[in-house]
Structure 1
């Protein structure tokens, strides 16, 4: 990788720059980059002007020149070649590589992500691990990035601009970054392999014309890890070596196991390879599935009970210390194959089971959606390997991983015959890792109970929003629950609990609504209830805009996309009789609503109305000045009125006409939907419809409450013998 060949690309029109990306000079006038950074997405065409800056901004002079698009891949792969207006002749040439084998390779690259932009775009040294086995059905390389930016507060992609970065392994160009993967917390990028495009006739002809000749691919593999001198070994290697000595220190046959392990991990093992214990530690430290894979063969060779107990202790300590993962290579491949089939046949089963039986675990983002995509399985499995299910186990035995608990529940839901293979897999993992049979049996019994109990579908989203008062900007904390009609709920955990902008909260709410949308039926409108403190009832949460959901559908506020209503649980804590009055008003038969449109209505007068002529009123419509409205609104809530409607933009009762189009005193049942439709029309025609309706809607008996799934502890004294 030559820093002088780094290219910053800006594309757009002659008047305005629209896209920024990265590239690499592969010949004196040829720049390799990603095609999408040159495209006008709205017109499905390419921008008319392209400017490039060649060279590393921190390594001497850079050259600015123009360029034109001269090649894109005929099968629409996201790769392109630019021809610069000026010739940039640099020493050396580009070598092209093709990673082979199973072992992860180190990679590096230079690009211009948005996260590194200050006054201008600064170069970022990308580096990490390329695991060949993580390439999915689309054939893209996975790049597990070591230094990674946080998600941006403004919603823009932190990796934006890194597309087009050339990826190098062992100083061979092996691929091109084309996108990021936010499911992995911004720590994973995707790259198109070089072998997918360098064989194209048009690509080869251009390299023949402008470079030394057509590209020649060289197969490259990861070098076999070997021990560094004792003073240079990492703490992980030193700890791993100490643990391995406790199991293998006195055995003369361990080299056979190490040789087999190295081959299984995808390394080329020469005949002269005679590994030491330190070499084995280096191998294990470099591959998180090495130690579990080694233990799979050691279990068969360890005949003594003491040796078996020591191996279990080593695996437990290594996992707790982050030195290895739970599953061996074979176990992981078997599980992924089983789960891919389940995702294809029943894509909602795995995320539903995870949310219901692992309620107290922090779930990865793919499990907080309705459908689980097969491409996300590897991330889900790796995340669940690292946590236990928090249930009790017999003394001196390892905790049960959350992954095994989930596997048991999925197997139970599939049925006796269809889930048999998944249960066999669970038995094998439990036996290898030393999990007590009684602990696994208890989870299996509990899984059967769960599968037999048909939980009602989710019906709405409940969002708790509170101000982040210590933040200098407009920020909020957000917690989301998926609620059922029977009052039970499931909490959607998130990886990042920092304060969020209104746009970020809106995106989270929209994502949560998508989780329950499939369970609502084809005609039901999704409903989100926002719980706020009484001093936050005025917040325009329904106007918060999450941005466009995709490149085809335009953006709109969440209040126009689905029903957004407010609730103020705080009032029930302050007013003892509120819950009783709330219930009575709902059961009264929905008498005519009370419309407050007279400036002479004071707090005492409103109280008399709500306790006499409108004692059974379920709804109040407030048309009054802002300085009067807050006190009247709080009085309505304190007296148990479950539905209150007002216009945030109204300055006086004369502005009442602004809400007439939504028929504020019409049928109560579909009022939230009428408000949603009005909000959408007001978003499209803000000058024609200036009103901004806010709606408190607190249904009877639909307060979400937690539910528990009972677990029975394994019997005391049930220890391995």
Structure 2
């Protein structure tokens, strides 16, 4: 990596205004490599017309500023681009291209301009950490960052601006930063492998034309760790060497185990003759090394050796030295849980909510559905957690991950459940967990699986408008509320505000997840959309999810489900409102107030709702559009739980358009009649009909979660 080749990229319009900041790397005298989205307008998705590049590092003097134009993007849409700058910057040396080989994690480094490092101007940050080859996926490298910023509280990305940074392993360019993974608290970045684009014909020809060399990636393997001088070893390394001594009275046995471990971790181990200190260096270099060595030793460990092994695992977990699972345990569990997600995509999040009630769940487990690709995130997110219950007789506590596995085993089919329990039992034995402790968790899981789950009766979608990114973007949180009053918050790994279509997609996915739960049957839950006062004007019932296929058309959510609005914000302004609402539900279900010309103005409406209609539970709002808004707020503040109006109406003369709903008829049937009406309207959109909105504040209180802040970061998105 050559710091002189670092590039700061600014993209924007031809005049002053919004712009995008990102990073890049000079790979040839007139070529800068970066991420494609660095060059895009996030709102429109179009490419910015003007791009400027500043090449160089402040330690080498004044950077060179040049204009640039887009030369190449990947034909398959990968997030990578090549810029051509308007004059040559000829630096000595050349770029070597690489591709990680084997399975051992590789140290990496890079240079970029993240938001977290900015002062008055953008300052460079030296990215460095470990690239775990076994993590990630197709066209995706995981970068576990060493120094990492805290998560931003304003909804932005702490690593914003680092996108496009070139990543190096062993002096070879192996990838380009494209994303920040919020699920890991800004400690993890995602990079696009160089091997996925360097062999593209056009890309290769542009590079070869200017450098005379083809960008062919070479295999880059990890070197076996070696111990440094004794005076430089950390207290943890010295303590680990002491803990290993009782396990290897014979140096030859230690060497044999070290070689086998090195091979399992993906290193080439021929000729490897490690000292005790070298073995410690190997164990400290790989997160699964201590667990993998312990797995090999556990089967024959008895007495003092078994106690020493248990002490080793407890020490490692207490000091966060390595992951809970060995390489083999991890691989086996990933395979089993992928089978679970293939058969029952809602099972993992559902069981986690029950098995780990008092644990702060990883973000990924708060989503409604999980696919096979999500399993790694689940396991890695739970490995460091205990279930909070100490073990018996000094034994280690049961990890949260094993408790979840037991609950999943109890809820899935018999054969897969047996495989999961076998895995759990073997792993618990390796960790030194008391048989009785695991047995208690297994019994709890079996008892829970026998109980019928309370059905989901209401899906609550909370909306918060985000004005900073446009008039039609919303923060979204969804809750599944059960008949027994319990609820589960669903969060998608998505930090960007949603369009109405994206919000409708999330809602449809949540309803589908609820329908998959045991005992749900064909019941379609009621959808309550929680909004603030301004949100009462939204035509949420007309929002359409994207079409799932090319056969059925997209269908409004109000035509699929019973959709109503709720505005709990008003209870904060008038605390008596909740009591008034309960009184009206109790005493006034059969009473209806239909506003007409005789109802008068807002003051007369207040008088009616405080006297003659003090207990009325339902108001049908007719009247002038410019007054209807204040009348609606008056009704809601005074505790009226059900309010229906036509948002298309201009005056009293439009009152007849709502008659098809029988608005003063059977109260319990009103939401169903409204859903049928909306479905008919979706089938014949050309017909001029009413556009009804319904506020229905349910009896009792909806779950009051923490405030839906616009700054809530939920998922990894582009780092720029």
TM bucket normalised to smaller: 0.7 to 0.9
- Give the 3 Å change call, closer, same or farther, for CA 312–705 of structure 1 in structure 2: farther
2:512 equivalent to 1:518: yes
- Give the 3 Å change call, closer, same or farther, for CA 523–431 of structure 1 in structure 2: closer
2:641 equivalent to 1:642: yes
Alignment of structure 1 residues 361-510 onto 2, 5 Å: 361-391=359-389, 393-461=391-459, 481-491=479-489
- Give the 3 Å change call, closer, same or farther, for CA 106–149 of structure 1 in structure 2: same
Alignment of structure 1 residues 251-330 onto 2, 5 Å: 251-252=250-251, 253-271=253-271, 273-276=273-276, 278-304=277-303, 306-330=304-328
Deviation at 1:49, TM superposition (A): 4.3
- Give the 3 Å change call, closer, same or farther, for CA 591–576 of structure 1 in structure 2: closer
Q: Distance between the aligned counterparts of 1:311 and 1:441, measured in 2?
A: 22
8 Å Cα contact 1:659/1:693 also seen in 2: no
Provide the residue aligned with 1:697 in structure 2.
696
State the SS of the aligned residue for 2:414: coil
Provide the residue aligned with 2:134 in structure 1.
133
8 Å Cα contact 2:632/2:643 also seen in 1: no
2:669 equivalent to 1:666: no
Provide the residue aligned with 1:248 in structure 2.
247
2:616 equivalent to 1:607: no
8 Å Cα contact 1:564/1:672 also seen in 2: no
- Give the 3 Å change call, closer, same or farther, for CA 450–38 of structure 1 in structure 2: same
Q: Larger deviation: 101-110 or 262-271?
A: 262-271
Q: Distance between the aligned counterparts of 1:309 and 1:326, measured in 2?
A: 18
2:355 equivalent to 1:352: no
State the SS of the aligned residue for 2:611: helix
Q: Deviations over 1:490-545 (max 9, x none)?
A: 3558999xxx99x79999998984663214669968623659xxxxx857587799
Q: Distance between the aligned counterparts of 2:299 and 2:278, measured in 1?
A: 22
- Give the 3 Å change call, closer, same or farther, for CA 495–26 of structure 1 in structure 2: closer
Q: Distance between the aligned counterparts of 1:192 and 1:647, measured in 2?
A: 51
8 Å Cα contact 1:31/1:81 also seen in 2: yes
Provide the residue aligned with 1:81 in structure 2.
82
Provide the residue aligned with 1:717 in structure 2.
none
State the SS of the aligned residue for 1:516: helix
State the SS of the aligned residue for 1:267: coil
Q: Larger deviation: 184-193 or 39-48?
A: 39-48
8 Å Cα contact 1:582/1:700 also seen in 2: no
Q: Deviations over 1:343-382 (max 9, x none)?
A: 2332222122212322221112221112113333222111
Deviation at 1:599, TM superposition (A): 4.9
The TM-score, its normalising length taken from structure 2, stands at 0.76
Q: Distance between the aligned counterparts of 1:86 and 1:290, measured in 2?
A: 50
8 Å Cα contact 1:369/1:514 also seen in 2: no
Q: Deviations over 1:613-634 (max 9, x none)?
A: xx45444869989999988865
Q: Distance between the aligned counterparts of 1:120 and 1:206, measured in 2?
A: 32
Deviation at 1:220, TM superposition (A): 2.2
Provide the residue aligned with 2:587 in structure 1.
585
- Give the 3 Å change call, closer, same or farther, for CA 291–549 of structure 1 in structure 2: farther
State the SS of the aligned residue for 2:7: strand
Deviation at 1:284, TM superposition (A): 2.1
Q: Distance between the aligned counterparts of 1:510 and 1:235, measured in 2?
A: 54
Deviation at 1:115, TM superposition (A): 4.1
Provide the residue aligned with 1:65 in structure 2.
66
Deviation at 1:674, TM superposition (A): 7.1
Q: Distance between the aligned counterparts of 2:149 and 2:658, measured in 1?
A: 45
- Give the 3 Å change call, closer, same or farther, for CA 87–632 of structure 1 in structure 2: closer
8 Å Cα contact 1:102/1:132 also seen in 2: yes
| Aligned alpha-carbon RMSD (Å) | 5.0
- Give the 3 Å change call, closer, same or farther, for CA 643–627 of structure 1 in structure 2: closer
Q: Deviations over 1:408-433 (max 9, x none)?
A: 22222222123222221111111111
Deviation at 1:213, TM superposition (A): 2.1
Deviation at 1:296, TM superposition (A): 0.8
8 Å Cα contact 2:113/2:124 also seen in 1: yes
State the SS of the aligned residue for 1:225: coil
Q: Distance between the aligned counterparts of 2:622 and 2:153, measured in 1?
A: 36
Deviation at 1:332, TM superposition (A): 0.2
Alignment of structure 1 residues 530-679 onto 2, 5 Å: 530=530, 563-567=564-568, 581-585=583-587, 588-592=589-593, 597-601=600-604, 606-610=609-613, 615=615, 617-619=617-619, 636-637=638-639, 641-643=640-642, 666=663, 670=670
Q: Distance between the aligned counterparts of 2:41 and 2:491, measured in 1?
A: 37
Provide the residue aligned with 1:651 in structure 2.
none
Q: Distance between the aligned counterparts of 2:122 and 2:652, measured in 1?
A: 52
Q: Distance between the aligned counterparts of 2:440 and 2:331, measured in 1?
A: 26
8 Å Cα contact 2:368/2:490 also seen in 1: no
State the SS of the aligned residue for 1:95: coil
Aligned residues: 658
Deviation at 1:176, TM superposition (A): 1.5
- Give the 3 Å change call, closer, same or farther, for CA 44–538 of structure 1 in structure 2: closer
Deviation at 1:390, TM superposition (A): 3.2
- Give the 3 Å change call, closer, same or farther, for CA 665–124 of structure 1 in structure 2: farther
Deviation at 1:26, TM superposition (A): 1.3
Q: Distance between the aligned counterparts of 1:381 and 1:99, measured in 2?
A: 24
State the SS of the aligned residue for 1:132: coil
- Give the 3 Å change call, closer, same or farther, for CA 38–618 of structure 1 in structure 2: closer
State the SS of the aligned residue for 1:177: strand
Provide the residue aligned with 2:162 in structure 1.
162
Q: Distance between the aligned counterparts of 1:393 and 1:36, measured in 2?
A: 50
Q: Deviations over 1:305-361 (max 9, x none)?
A: x32133223212321221222111100011112222322332222122212322221
Q: Larger deviation: 49-58 or 174-183?
A: 49-58
Provide the residue aligned with 2:95 in structure 1.
94
Deviation at 1:5, TM superposition (A): 0.8
Q: Larger deviation: 574-583 or 344-353?
A: 574-583
Unaligned runs of at least 5 residues, structure 1: 467-476, 532-536, 649-653, 682-691, 707-721
Q: Distance between the aligned counterparts of 1:440 and 1:124, measured in 2?
A: 46
- Give the 3 Å change call, closer, same or farther, for CA 322–493 of structure 1 in structure 2: farther
The TM-score, its normalising length taken from structure 1, stands at 0.76
Deviation at 1:55, TM superposition (A): 1.5
8 Å Cα contact 2:8/2:22 also seen in 1: yes
Provide the residue aligned with 1:713 in structure 2.
none
Structure with larger RCO (C-alpha < 8 A, sep 6+) = 2
Unaligned runs of at least 5 residues, structure 2: 465-474, 516-521, 549-556, 682-690, 706-720
Q: Distance between the aligned counterparts of 1:389 and 1:656, measured in 2?
A: 61
Q: Distance between the aligned counterparts of 1:460 and 1:647, measured in 2?
A: 24
State the SS of the aligned residue for 1:353: helix
State the SS of the aligned residue for 1:332: helix
Q: Distance between the aligned counterparts of 2:546 and 2:509, measured in 1?
A: 21
2:172 equivalent to 1:191: no
